[in-house]
Amino acid sequence: AAGGLEFEERPESLAAIGEAIRQCRKCPIGCLDNQAVMGEGPSGAALMIVGEQPGDHEDMEGRPFVGPAGQLLDVHLERAGIDRSAAYVTNAVKHFKFTIKASGRGKRRLHQSPTAKEIDTCRWWIEGERELVKPKLVLAMGASAARGLLGKTVSISKVRGAPIPLDDGSELWVTAHPSYLLRLDGEAREKQAALFDADLAAVRARLG
Ligand code: URA
Protein backbone atom coordinates (compact mmCIF):
# COMPACT_ATOMS: atom_id res chain seq x y z
CA ALA A 1 0.00 0.00 0.00
CA ALA A 2 1.09 3.54 -0.64
CA GLY A 3 2.62 5.60 2.13
CA GLY A 4 2.13 4.89 5.79
CA LEU A 5 4.79 5.11 8.44
CA GLU A 6 6.24 2.07 10.10
CA PHE A 7 5.71 2.41 13.81
CA GLU A 8 7.20 -0.17 16.16
CA GLU A 9 4.20 -1.88 17.66
CA ARG A 10 0.51 -1.23 17.35
CA PRO A 11 -1.41 -0.96 20.63
CA GLU A 12 -3.57 -3.98 21.34
CA SER A 13 -6.82 -2.37 22.44
CA LEU A 14 -8.98 0.47 21.18
CA ALA A 15 -8.37 2.35 24.44
CA ALA A 16 -4.61 2.01 23.94
CA ILE A 17 -4.92 3.20 20.34
CA GLY A 18 -6.87 6.22 21.63
CA GLU A 19 -4.10 6.96 24.10
CA ALA A 20 -1.40 6.57 21.43
CA ILE A 21 -3.27 8.87 19.04
CA ARG A 22 -3.31 11.54 21.72
CA GLN A 23 0.49 11.36 21.72
CA CYS A 24 0.82 11.10 17.93
CA ARG A 25 2.83 13.89 16.28
CA LYS A 26 3.78 11.96 13.15
CA CYS A 27 2.22 14.57 10.87
CA PRO A 28 1.83 18.34 11.15
CA ILE A 29 -1.90 18.12 11.96
CA GLY A 30 -1.17 16.48 15.29
CA CYS A 31 0.97 19.50 16.19
CA LEU A 32 -1.87 22.04 15.81
CA ASP A 33 -3.90 23.32 18.75
CA ASN A 34 -6.48 20.51 18.68
CA GLN A 35 -7.30 17.26 20.41
CA ALA A 36 -7.25 13.70 19.04
CA VAL A 37 -10.70 12.33 18.19
CA MET A 38 -10.73 8.58 18.49
CA GLY A 39 -13.32 6.32 16.90
CA GLU A 40 -16.41 5.48 18.92
CA GLY A 41 -18.63 2.42 19.10
CA PRO A 42 -18.70 -1.24 20.10
CA SER A 43 -15.49 -3.17 19.43
CA GLY A 44 -17.33 -6.02 17.71
CA ALA A 45 -19.36 -3.76 15.41
CA ALA A 46 -20.37 -5.32 12.08
CA LEU A 47 -20.20 -1.90 10.41
CA MET A 48 -17.39 0.64 10.54
CA ILE A 49 -18.29 4.12 9.29
CA VAL A 50 -15.35 6.29 8.29
CA GLY A 51 -15.27 10.05 7.68
CA GLU A 52 -12.42 12.36 6.75
CA GLN A 53 -11.31 14.09 9.94
CA PRO A 54 -12.91 15.72 12.97
CA GLY A 55 -14.34 19.18 12.35
CA ASP A 56 -14.54 22.15 14.69
CA HIS A 57 -17.37 20.65 16.81
CA GLU A 58 -15.79 17.21 16.95
CA ASP A 59 -12.49 18.73 18.05
CA MET A 60 -14.18 20.64 20.86
CA GLU A 61 -16.19 17.63 22.04
CA GLY A 62 -13.58 14.97 21.35
CA ARG A 63 -16.16 12.77 19.56
CA PRO A 64 -16.65 11.94 15.87
CA PHE A 65 -19.57 13.26 13.82
CA VAL A 66 -21.33 15.40 16.44
CA GLY A 67 -21.50 18.63 14.37
CA PRO A 68 -23.67 19.53 11.33
CA ALA A 69 -22.28 16.73 9.12
CA GLY A 70 -22.92 14.24 11.93
CA GLN A 71 -26.48 15.45 12.36
CA LEU A 72 -27.15 15.01 8.65
CA LEU A 73 -25.51 11.59 8.77
CA ASP A 74 -27.83 10.61 11.64
CA VAL A 75 -30.91 11.56 9.58
CA HIS A 76 -29.79 9.41 6.65
CA LEU A 77 -28.73 6.48 8.82
CA GLU A 78 -32.09 6.46 10.51
CA ARG A 79 -33.85 6.59 7.16
CA ALA A 80 -31.81 3.58 6.01
CA GLY A 81 -32.54 1.68 9.21
CA ILE A 82 -28.90 1.63 10.30
CA ASP A 83 -28.39 1.89 14.05
CA ARG A 84 -25.50 4.29 14.60
CA SER A 85 -24.95 3.12 18.15
CA ALA A 86 -24.24 -0.40 16.87
CA ALA A 87 -21.63 0.88 14.38
CA TYR A 88 -18.03 1.89 15.01
CA VAL A 89 -17.69 5.49 13.78
CA THR A 90 -14.25 6.90 13.07
CA ASN A 91 -12.21 9.11 10.76
CA ALA A 92 -9.35 8.59 8.31
CA VAL A 93 -7.44 11.38 10.06
CA LYS A 94 -7.71 11.72 13.82
CA HIS A 95 -6.94 15.41 14.33
CA PHE A 96 -8.71 18.53 13.00
CA LYS A 97 -6.75 20.39 10.30
CA PHE A 98 -7.63 24.08 10.11
CA THR A 99 -6.46 27.60 9.44
CA ILE A 100 -7.52 30.57 11.51
CA LYS A 101 -9.58 33.21 9.79
CA ALA A 102 -10.08 36.55 11.43
CA SER A 103 -13.33 38.30 10.57
CA GLY A 104 -15.55 41.02 12.03
CA ARG A 105 -17.04 38.54 14.50
CA GLY A 106 -13.69 37.31 15.77
CA LYS A 107 -11.61 34.33 14.82
CA ARG A 108 -12.92 31.20 13.15
CA ARG A 109 -11.24 27.88 12.50
CA LEU A 110 -11.66 26.90 8.85
CA HIS A 111 -11.46 23.26 7.80
CA GLN A 112 -8.59 22.30 5.54
CA SER A 113 -8.41 19.05 3.63
CA PRO A 114 -5.70 16.65 4.72
CA THR A 115 -3.01 15.86 2.15
CA ALA A 116 -2.62 12.35 0.74
CA LYS A 117 0.55 12.03 2.80
CA GLU A 118 -1.24 12.99 6.02
CA ILE A 119 -4.02 10.48 5.31
CA ASP A 120 -1.45 7.79 4.57
CA THR A 121 0.40 8.52 7.80
CA CYS A 122 -2.83 8.16 9.78
CA ARG A 123 -3.63 4.83 8.04
CA TRP A 124 -1.55 3.17 10.73
CA TRP A 125 -4.32 3.93 13.21
CA ILE A 126 -7.32 3.03 11.09
CA GLU A 127 -5.68 -0.25 10.20
CA GLY A 128 -5.29 -0.87 13.93
CA GLU A 129 -8.94 -0.06 14.55
CA ARG A 130 -10.00 -2.45 11.76
CA GLU A 131 -7.86 -5.25 13.17
CA LEU A 132 -9.50 -4.88 16.57
CA VAL A 133 -13.11 -4.19 15.54
CA LYS A 134 -13.09 -6.65 12.62
CA PRO A 135 -16.12 -5.15 10.89
CA LYS A 136 -17.87 -7.12 8.19
CA LEU A 137 -18.51 -3.93 6.24
CA VAL A 138 -16.68 -0.62 6.08
CA LEU A 139 -18.45 2.47 4.78
CA ALA A 140 -16.00 5.15 3.62
CA MET A 141 -17.62 8.55 3.19
CA GLY A 142 -15.69 10.80 0.82
CA ALA A 143 -12.40 10.56 -1.02
CA SER A 144 -10.20 11.01 2.06
CA ALA A 145 -11.93 8.15 3.87
CA ALA A 146 -11.60 5.93 0.79
CA ARG A 147 -7.90 6.69 0.61
CA GLY A 148 -7.56 5.94 4.31
CA LEU A 149 -8.87 2.44 3.67
CA LEU A 150 -7.32 1.74 0.27
CA GLY A 151 -4.03 3.64 0.37
CA LYS A 152 -4.79 5.10 -3.04
CA THR A 153 -7.13 7.74 -4.42
CA VAL A 154 -10.32 6.57 -6.10
CA SER A 155 -13.16 8.41 -7.80
CA ILE A 156 -16.31 8.13 -5.69
CA SER A 157 -18.63 8.23 -8.70
CA LYS A 158 -16.73 5.30 -10.25
CA VAL A 159 -16.56 3.01 -7.22
CA ARG A 160 -19.81 3.70 -5.36
CA GLY A 161 -22.64 1.16 -5.46
CA ALA A 162 -20.55 -2.01 -5.38
CA PRO A 163 -18.39 -3.55 -2.67
CA ILE A 164 -14.59 -3.48 -2.85
CA PRO A 165 -13.01 -6.52 -1.17
CA LEU A 166 -10.47 -5.70 1.55
CA ASP A 167 -7.49 -7.88 2.47
CA ASP A 168 -9.14 -9.36 5.60
CA GLY A 169 -12.27 -10.56 3.78
CA SER A 170 -14.39 -7.56 4.75
CA GLU A 171 -16.08 -5.29 2.23
CA LEU A 172 -15.52 -1.62 1.60
CA TRP A 173 -18.40 0.53 0.36
CA VAL A 174 -17.58 4.04 -0.76
CA THR A 175 -20.06 6.89 -0.77
CA ALA A 176 -20.07 10.69 -0.65
CA HIS A 177 -19.33 12.64 2.51
CA PRO A 178 -22.35 14.24 4.24
CA SER A 179 -20.49 17.59 4.26
CA TYR A 180 -20.64 17.46 0.48
CA LEU A 181 -24.44 17.26 0.69
CA LEU A 182 -24.45 20.20 3.10
CA ARG A 183 -22.69 22.36 0.51
CA LEU A 184 -25.36 21.70 -2.14
CA ASP A 185 -28.91 22.91 -2.44
CA GLY A 186 -31.95 22.56 -4.67
CA GLU A 187 -31.99 19.77 -7.21
CA ALA A 188 -28.30 18.98 -6.87
CA ARG A 189 -28.80 18.38 -3.16
CA GLU A 190 -31.82 16.16 -3.77
CA LYS A 191 -29.97 14.12 -6.35
CA GLN A 192 -26.93 13.57 -4.14
CA ALA A 193 -29.10 12.83 -1.10
CA ALA A 194 -30.91 10.13 -3.09
CA LEU A 195 -27.59 8.59 -4.15
CA PHE A 196 -26.40 8.69 -0.54
CA ASP A 197 -29.62 7.01 0.61
CA ALA A 198 -29.21 4.33 -2.07
CA ASP A 199 -25.65 3.59 -0.89
CA LEU A 200 -26.79 3.35 2.73
CA ALA A 201 -29.68 1.08 1.74
CA ALA A 202 -27.25 -1.24 -0.08
CA VAL A 203 -25.03 -1.37 3.01
CA ARG A 204 -28.05 -2.04 5.22
CA ALA A 205 -29.14 -4.92 2.97
CA ARG A 206 -25.63 -6.40 3.05
CA LEU A 207 -25.48 -6.23 6.85
CA GLY A 208 -28.38 -8.66 6.98
N1 URA B 1 -16.57 15.30 9.17
C2 URA B 1 -15.85 14.17 9.25
O3 URA B 1 -15.32 13.68 8.27
N4 URA B 1 -15.73 13.60 10.42
C5 URA B 1 -16.28 14.05 11.53
O6 URA B 1 -16.10 13.44 12.57
C7 URA B 1 -17.05 15.23 11.42
C8 URA B 1 -17.17 15.85 10.24
The ipTM estimated for the assembled molecules is 0.93
pLDDT at position 6: 54
One-letter identity of residue 208: G
pLDDT at position 4: 45
Residue 56 in 3-state DSSP? helix
**C-alpha to C-alpha distance for 17 and 191, rounded to whole angstroms:** 38
Q: ∠16-19-24 over CA atoms, to 5°?
A: 120
Mean of the pLDDT values across residues 109-128? 97
Q: Smallest Cα–Cα separation from 21: which of 54, 43, 44, 46?
A: 54
CATH superfamily of 14-207: Uracil-DNA glycosylase-like domain (3.40.470.10)
**C-alpha to C-alpha distance for 90 and 95, rounded to whole angstroms:** 11
Residue 89 in 3-state DSSP? strand
User: Which tens digit of pLDDT belongs to each residue from 133-188?
Assistant: 999 999 999 999 999 999 999 999 999 999 999 999 999 999 999 999 999 999 99
Per-residue pLDDT at 29 exceeds 90: yes
Cα 130 to averaged position of ligand 1 atoms, centre (Å): 18
Cα 54 to averaged position of ligand 1 atoms, centre (Å): 4
pLDDT at position 28: 95
Pocket test for ligand 1, best of 21, 56, 65, 156 (most atoms within 8 A of CB): 65
